[in-house]
Amino acid sequence: MKLFRKIDTTTGNFLEDVLFESHPFLMETVLVDVTDEEGTITQVEEFQPLLDAEGNPQLDPQYVEEAPPQGLYLPRYLNGVWVEGGTAPEPITSQPTVEDRLAMAEMAILDLMME
Instruction: Compute the distance between CA of residue 47 and CA of residue 55 in angstroms, rounded to an integer.
Output: 16
Stated length of the chain: 115
Cβ distance 23 to 65 under 8 Å?
yes
Instruction: Compute the distance between CA of residue 29 and CA of residue 70 in angstroms, rounded to an integer.
Output: 39
Instruction: Give DSSP secondary structure letters for 63-85.
Output: EE-SPPPTT-SSEEEETTEEEE-
Q: What amino acid is encoded at 87 in this protein?
A: T
State the pTM of this model.
Answer: 0.64
pLDDT per residue rounded down to tens, the chain (115 residues): 999 999 999 999 999 999 999 999 999 998 988 888 888 888 889 999 999 999 999 999 999 999 999 989 999 999 999 999 888 888 888 888 899 899 999 999 988 888 7
